[in-house]
Amino acid sequence: RRQRQMCIRDRNISKQHLPKKVIHLAAQSGVRHSIENPSEYINSNLVGFGNVLEFCKDNQVEHLIYASSSSIYGGNKKVPFSEKDFVEYPLSLYAATKKSNELIAHSYSHLYSMPIIGLRFFTVYGPWGRPDMAPFIFADSIFKKKPIKVFNYGKMSRDFTYIDDVIQTMIKLIDKPAIANDNFNRENPDPSSSWSPYRIFNVGNSKKIKLLDFICELETNMGIKAIMHFEKMQKGDVKSTFSDSKNLEDWTGFRPNTSIQFGIKKFVEWYKSYYK
């Protein structure tokens, strides 16, 4: 991870290969870590992302897809979250950097007619998942019979999205670049599109899963009871996420649909196999 970050920070992204289509997923991720190490997020997510955009501009890239985040919805109360909602109140620096990415991306799309798509991922999980995210932390602790911290006393929910659905989404989008919205109304703007070739899409399963139900599914598949320590809400976190993925389906004909039962089963199978 650190080598990839240094690469985009230094703008030394690719001198040997000059792609015409770019999928940019490198970033410093995670809400809680951004509170402890803000400079990491500023350097990777702002400076690094700017370097990616400059690379795409200088090499006449025909289509850029980049990772945004559902954390952008921050303090919004209206659910499900829609790309048409205004997102002006991030609750963490991580979310603020991702909102900044969307704004900077739009400026490049406008200035250089560059087709750009931002993807707001909703709690992606599955085999090879990030070890700092709840699904991995929970599974690892349950297997080792260590207590897990359950924040907001378990009164939380997430729109868990299986990794294969995310991959399928990007495959569908790579050959379907953003185009200008000819009906864009500047007096009543739609934040998900633009007069420029710029689009924002939610990538979520459109199902709100209670955190305790997710843990229960892990227990069932691992055959081990979790030891839960209930704690208050963490700073910068949100109580619930819930995706409206209709725009993605309209654009690609596909929307994430893998059930939590299937996804957790596959995740646990991978975990047991990889860690023996």
**In contact, 160 and 123? CB cutoff 8 Å:** yes
CA distance linking residue 181 with residue 179, whole number of Å: 6
CA distance linking residue 13 with residue 27, whole number of Å: 14
**In contact, 61 and 22? CB cutoff 8 Å:** yes
Q: Which residues pair with 157 in a beta bridge?
A: 210, 240
> Which residues contact residue 3 at a Cβ distance below 8 angstroms, ignoring those fewer than 6 apart?
none
Q: Which amino acid is at 237?
A: D
Residue with tokens 């919205």: 181
Catalytic residue (one of 41, 66, 73, 94): 94
C-alpha 15, offset from chain centre: 28
* Catalytic residue list contains 274: no
* Catalytic (active-site) positions: 94
